[in-house]
Amino acid sequence: MTDHPAGETPIQNPAYVAELEGHLGWLDTITGTALGVLAVASGIYTYLGVSSLLDSTGALSTFAALAYSIAVSVGIFVFWSYLMRLLPAVRTAAARTGLILAMLLGSLAIVAMSSWLNAAALAGSAAVEQHLARTVQDYQTALERTHENAVTAQALERDVARVRQSFADLSEQEAAGTLSGLVGRGAVFRVLTQKAEELAALEAQIAAQTAPIEAAFAEGNAILSRMRALTVEQGPVEARSVEFSEDAVRLAGLITQMRQLSVAPLVNRAAQDLADSVVLPELDGSTQAGQVNQARTIDSVLQVVGQRAITLQDASAEVMALPSAPEVEYTPISSADAVIRYAGNFVPSWAGAIAIDLLPAVLVLILSVVHAALRAGRRGKRLDDTMTVAELRMALRVAHELDDVPASMQPPSPARPK
């Protein structure tokens, strides 16, 4: 550092000003090149981001992406070149405020036209893979929830078996004459066996659904495994997205199929029919008293049937009221859209994409501070304090030329005050 006289601050030292001017002169030789490199780098990543958005891969699409990236590079270079020259040079607060506002507006424009595309180029593939992984999680949740609901519905088989067994026990009691008092397989026995057979058929239907449900669940898990592999597999993410989409369609069909395999609606309808559709046989008691006993017993049986039907309806309604699996639909997404949707997961990529475009703003602020320091250092100095050797030589040459001019041609001397 330069030593300064006592009581004199560095900013008032001409040597300090000359040192800053020397640094600025050297930095001017590399600033344009550095700014050009940053603009070109941003343009390259912008080209990659634009290319990912275009559906076609022909020459026209390539030219369009190239033209856009060149326009972005030129715009960034010109914009920051203007600010590097003008913002440090202005001296009034109004002019400085106006240029700062222009810098903020231009920075937003650069982020809008370039930075998000740069982020798409930096993290586009990873963002699409994130979208695939999130979709796999959604499908897995839907598959597990649908399977859980279907398995819960299969548990209704035990309720149906319990009701069927109760009617079978009653029919055996009626065959022994315990219910109506008539030994044999009369009208009451036929009513009880009729309902027991209906419930046995329903029980068989429920049991038959177990194998298709488990097969669909196993196939769904196999498809999920392939989809998970596609999210981390090597190679272009676009090609993997096509295979992923095909598997997603098959998995959605399996989930729908498993949802239809649920027996809860079947049990609910069967419970309604259990009480409503009763075929009453002809009373076959040999005596009038026997037929009266049969009629009374049948009425009691019908009441029991109604109660059992309500029990099955309530059980099936509880299963049907379970929360259904959310509808999942895979939507292909571009890398640029994926970067925006999952921006929170790619903060470093976003920071790098924005920094490469807005780093010159720091240089503008540095130049503004240095130029302000130079103006403060020159304030109050005489001309001969800041004259260079070349300027001194020019002044001496002009003085010699004035000495050679005849007195008549020399300008009059200024009048001295009296």
What confidence score (pLDDT) does residue 7 get?
A: 44
Is residue 402 domain-resident?
no
Between 349 and 295, name the one with better pLDDT: 349
Q: Do 120 and 131 reside in the same domain of the chain?
A: no
Task: Grade residue 92 by pLDDT with cuts at 50, 70 and 90.
Answer: confident
Q: Do 244 and 223 reside in the same domain of the chain?
A: yes
Between 237 and 14, name the one with better pLDDT: 237
Considering 66-80, 159-173, 197-211, 263-277, the range whose residues carry the highest mean pLDDT is 66-80
Domain boundary among 310, 334, 358: 334
What confidence score (pLDDT) does residue 105 get?
A: 94
Between 405 and 5, name the one with better pLDDT: 405
CATH number at residue 261: 1.20.1260
DSSP helix, strand, coil percent of the chain (3-state; round to 5): 80, 0, 20
Is residue 405 domain-resident?
no
Q: Do 212 and 314 reside in the same domain of the chain?
A: yes
Lowest mean pLDDT among 19-23, 65-69, 86-90, 363-367: 19-23
> Kindly report the CA angle at 382 between 381 and 383, in degrees rounded to 5?
120
Domain boundary among 305, 334, 363: 334
Could you tell me which of 160, 152, 162, 165 has the C-alpha nearest to residue 210? 152
SS (H, E, C) 323-381: CCCCCCCCCCCCHHHHHHHCHHHHHHHHHHHHHHHHHHHHHHHHHHHHHHHHHHHHCCC
What count of residues does the chain have?
418
What confidence score (pLDDT) does residue 129 get?
A: 86
Q: Is the pLDDT assigned to residue 78 strictly greater than 90?
A: yes
Q: Is the pLDDT assigned to residue 186 strictly greater than 70?
A: no
Share of the chain above pLDDT 70, in %: 77
| DSSP per position, 159-222 | HHHHHHHHHHHHHHHHHTTSSSS--SS-HHHHHHHHHHHHHHHHHHHHHHTHHHHHHHHHHHHH
Is residue 340 domain-resident?
no
7: which DSSP letter?
T
Phi, psi for residue 384 in degrees, rounded to 5:
-75, -10
Is residue 418 domain-resident?
no
Is residue 292 domain-resident?
yes
Count of domains forming the chain? 2
What confidence score (pLDDT) does residue 108 get?
A: 93
What confidence score (pLDDT) does residue 11 get?
A: 44
Q: Do 159 and 303 reside in the same domain of the chain?
A: yes
Stretch 146-152: mean pLDDT, rounded? 90
What confidence score (pLDDT) does residue 385 get?
A: 55
Is residue 416 domain-resident?
no
pLDDT tens by residue, 372-393: 887 777 665 555 555 666 767 7
What confidence score (pLDDT) does residue 175 get?
A: 66
For residue 103, the one-letter residue type is: M
pTM score, two decimals? 0.66
Stretch 70-86: mean pLDDT, rounded? 91
Q: Do 95 and 49 reside in the same domain of the chain?
A: yes
Alpha carbons 191 and 295: distance in angstroms, whole number: 11
Measured from the Cβ of residue 346, the count of other Cβ atoms closer than 10 Å reads 22
Q: Is the pLDDT assigned to residue 415 strictly greater than 60?
A: no
Q: Do 141 and 65 reside in the same domain of the chain?
A: no
Q: Is the pLDDT assigned to residue 411 strictly greater than 60?
A: no
Q: Do 246 and 188 reside in the same domain of the chain?
A: yes
Q: Do 308 and 277 reside in the same domain of the chain?
A: yes
Q: Do 168 and 311 reside in the same domain of the chain?
A: yes
Lowest mean pLDDT among 245-249, 300-304, 318-322, 348-352: 300-304
Lowest mean pLDDT among 179-188, 213-222, 262-271: 179-188
Q: Is the pLDDT assigned to residue 346 strictly greater than 70?
A: yes
Is residue 400 domain-resident?
no
Lowest mean pLDDT among 4-18, 61-75, 102-116, 380-394: 4-18
Instruction: Provide the residue range defining the domain that includes 352.
Output: 10-124+345-391
Q: Is the pLDDT assigned to residue 193 strictly greater than 50?
A: yes
Considering 8-12, 350-354, 396-400, the range whose residues carry the highest mean pLDDT is 350-354
Alpha carbons 322 and 262: distance in angstroms, whole number: 12
Q: Do 317 and 374 reside in the same domain of the chain?
A: no
Q: Do 14 and 86 reside in the same domain of the chain?
A: yes
> Kindly report the CA angle at 39 between 37 and 45, in degrees rounded to 5?
100
pLDDT tens by residue, 24-76: 888 888 888 999 999 999 888 888 888 877 766 677 878 888 899 999 999 99
Stretch 386-412: mean pLDDT, rounded? 66
Q: Do 317 and 356 reside in the same domain of the chain?
A: no
Alpha carbons 220 and 145: distance in angstroms, whole number: 12
Stretch 250-255: mean pLDDT, rounded? 90
Mean pLDDT of the chain: 79
Is residue 217 domain-resident?
yes
Lowest mean pLDDT among 14-18, 94-98, 271-275, 298-302: 298-302
Between 283 and 366, name the one with better pLDDT: 366
